[in-house]
Structure 1
Amino acid sequence: MTSKIALHIFNYFIILFGFISTSTPAFAQVTNSKPDAVQMKTYNYADTLQLDFYSIPSKDITLKPTVILVHGGGFTAGQRNGGDEKRLSKYLAAKGFNVASINYRLSRRGKSFGCDCPASIKIDTYVEAVADLSKAINYLTKDSLPFKADPTKIFLIGSSAGAETVLNFQFMRYDYRFKRLPYPNAKIAGLVSFSGAVLDENYIDASNKTPALFFHGVKDSVVPYDTNPHRFCTPTDVGYIRINGPKAIAERLSEIDGYYKVYFNAEGGHEWASLGYEFPELIYEFLEDILRGDDTMKEFESITSPIDSKE
């Protein structure tokens, strides 16, 4: 009898322990789901392309301003959910924005995008990335649910190749190579570029001018600060194309009464494609200024690298 009672007691504790062990993760998940906490969910927006959507869930049906973040990586690498992308996405979502950090086709993965990459292929790569960004915006704005994205208040942020994608999306749509893409029925309220450039600043006009915020190193040898060859290729290189950085874009915007803020680092290089992420407060202020209608900035301002400032 004693042995049977001991066996029953032993089995009881095994069952009890198993229940507690399997129940604890579910309980922890519930307690961590605060009503005002930023949550993230991944969606397929086109074929195998995905976006991570960050927001504070709410039963309010009011549409919200939405930021679309496009990572860098030279069209050969990069990811939507890297550390920089996650931090900025969570920061802006906590401030009340919807944020979608997207993948796009990395058609040069395992290949070169340098001076040995033919210029025609470079152009095709730019066009493909813009097409993917267009699809992502369409996906987020075609219906009010579940994203609650206000199609009149879309902001684009990009780093390096992502910044080139953002700038080409907004400013190159009337070029014959871009104009047949599936552009969304949405208004781009503002642009943020970390070490980005546009193919041809002359396509910027009154119909597509948009307030823009730039972070760029003046000595960037990959994506030029002004008008120069991409990666500073020579005219004899098959990959020779001239592109236009923030100085050229700002000068063009100034000619047509457009608005811009250029943060430049006189000694900086292409590391500003990453360093731009270190200034979330400046980015947030820019977005908020636009939403308030205070978007009349026309400024160049020197900025210190956060790495240098810590030394």
Structure 2
Amino acid sequence: MSLRIVWPLLMLILWMSFHATGQPSTVEFKRYDNGPRLDMDIYPPSPSADKIEDAYSPLVICIFGGGFLAGSRTDAVYLPYYKFLTEQGFTVAAIDYRLGLKDAKKPPSLFNRKPIITAIEIAVQDVYAATDYLLKHATDLKLDTGKFILSGSSAGAITALQADYEKRNNMKNAKVLPAAFQYAAVVSFAGAIYSREGRPDYDIAPAPTLFFHGSKDNWVPYNKVSLLGTGVYGSKCLAKRRKKQGYSYCFYSFENVRHDVAAFPMKEYQPQIQDFFRDFVFSKRPLFIDINIKDLNRKNSFMRNPSDIYK
């Protein structure tokens, strides 16, 4: 039997197994010469999700956080979020990516930019590799290629926002994906975009984006950190830019909260995430939403400063 026949058959068996067990299946999507093997865990939609049984499902590509130096797609903090998404009828692909700051000796800064630039670049390359794999196997996995969503936390949120930014502007790394393909939405838990050209602009309107960010974030800039047009542009800056240019977004700003926002909204704001998918992805409503939240009961638990890791 030829490989052309065997491969689709294997993919069909895997897909049937996913839906029978509800458990993820791990597949390799990229292996670099003299480098790491990158895997993804594919979680099928829950059998109880409100969907047509044989319909192609929307997909959320989930990108873990960890400062580009740690973290894993299987970290316990993300598993309830994956479960929530599958219960809404999504397929989830939780992916690996290369950790560009894993061996860094000192923290990145405006005067030590190369390590973070490289870390973001290779992470985006890996997201594109995962996306390419999923596009090529979309029929076998029953994925709706018009509804590929990026979701990331912290470094993963930076990667998600950066991947959409570079794809919409047809930058070099994005050329591995079909020209007509665009991500349907981005969900960012404390993310930002790196730009050498000032506040990020788009040749094509960016994907509708759901931002969560704390105003006192001590890891990822809430507003921006820039010098002579080069810098990291956080959620506040990006939301303001989108509003000015007429691009759809929803921004949940948490007053006096630090980097905890990289985690807790995945659990505590699931109804709001569900509303975002309904209004921005499925109904494609042109909405501009800014919500400021001051929770007097919330205590910051993520007190560690990034520089402490390098001591």
Distance 1:306 1:80 in 2: 32
Match 1:245 to one of 230, 234, 237: 234
Equivalent residues in 2 for 1:138-287 (5 A)? 138-173=132-167, 178-185=171-178, 186-200=181-195, 202-205=199-202, 207-229=204-226, 242-278=231-267, 279-287=269-277
Name the residue aligned to 1:24: none
Aligned to 2:23: 39
Aligned-partner Cα distance in 1 for 2:78–2:46: 20
Distance 1:241 1:34 in 2: 45
Shift of 1:79: 0.5
Shift of 1:166: 0.5
How far apart are the structure 1 equivalents of 2:251 and 2:101?
30
User: Which of 288, 297, 300 pairs up with 2:278?
Assistant: 288
One-letter amino acid of the counterpart of residue 74, structure 1 = G
C-alpha distance in 1, partners of 2:183/2:164?
8
Deviation at 1:276, TM superposition (A): 2.5
Provide closer, same or farther for how the CA distance between residues 115 and 105 of structure 1 changes in structure 2, counting only shifts above 3 A.
Answer: closer
Give the aligned partner of residue 128 of structure 1.
Answer: 122
Whole-angstrom CA distance in 2 between matches of 1:243 and 1:274: 21
Q: 1:91 to 1:180 in 2, by over 3 A?
A: closer
Structure 1 pair 206/241, CA: closer, same or farther in 2 (3 Å)? closer
TM-score (ref. length: structure 2):
0.77
Q: Is the 8 A contact 1:38 1:93 kept in 2?
A: no
Residue 147 of structure 2 aligns to a residue in which SS? strand
Aligned counterpart for 1:99 among listed residues 70, 92, 99:
92
**C-alpha deviation, 1:123, in angstroms:** 0.9
Amino acid at match of 2:219: V
Q: Structure 1's 302 and 255: CA in aligned 2 closer, same or farther, altered over 3 A?
A: closer
1:151-182 CA-to-partner distances (Å, cap 9, x unmatched) read 11111100110000011111134779x52444
CA separation of 1:250 and 1:34: change in aligned 2, threshold 3 A: closer
Alpha-carbon deviation of 1:299? 1.7
- AA at the equivalent of 2:220: V
Residue identity matched to 1:131: Q
Contact 1:219 1:225 in 2 (8 A): yes
- State the Cα deviation string for residues 65-111 of structure 1 (Å, max 9, x = none): 10010000011001001112211111111211111111100122142
Q: Confirm or deny that 1:80 pairs with 2:73.
A: yes
CA distance in 2 between partners of 1:166 and 1:263 (Å): 17
- Letter matched to residue 191 of structure 2: G
CA deviation map 1:259-303 (0-9, x unaligned): 111111110111211123222222122112223324322121123
Question: So what's the TM-score if we normalise by structure 1?
Answer: 0.77
In structure 1, what residue type is equivalent to 2:223? D
> What is the percentage of aligned positions where both structures have the same residue?
28
8 Å contact kept, 1:214–1:263: yes
Letter in 2 for 1:212: T
Alpha-carbon distance in structure 1 between the residues aligned to 2:281 and 2:236: 25
* Change over 3 Å in CA distance of 1:248–1:183 after alignment to 2: farther
**Higher Rg of the two aligned structures:** 1
Secondary structure class of the residue paired with 1:146: helix
Say which SS state the counterpart of residue 239 (structure 2) adopts.
helix
Query: What are structure 2's unaligned runs of at least 5 residues?
Result: 1-16, 32-36, 300-311
Query: Aligned partners of 2:18, 2:167: CA distance in 1, in Å?
Result: 42
CA distance 1:189–1:35, shift in 2 (3 Å): closer
Letter in 2 for 1:258: Y
Supply the AA of the counterpart residue of 1:187: Q
| Cα distance in 2 between the residues matched to 1:257 and 1:80 | 34
What is the aligned-residue RMSD (CA, Å)? 2.8
Give the count of matched residue pairs: 267
Quickly say closer, same or farther: Cα 1:181–1:174, change in 2 above 3 A.
same
AA aligned to 1:285 is D
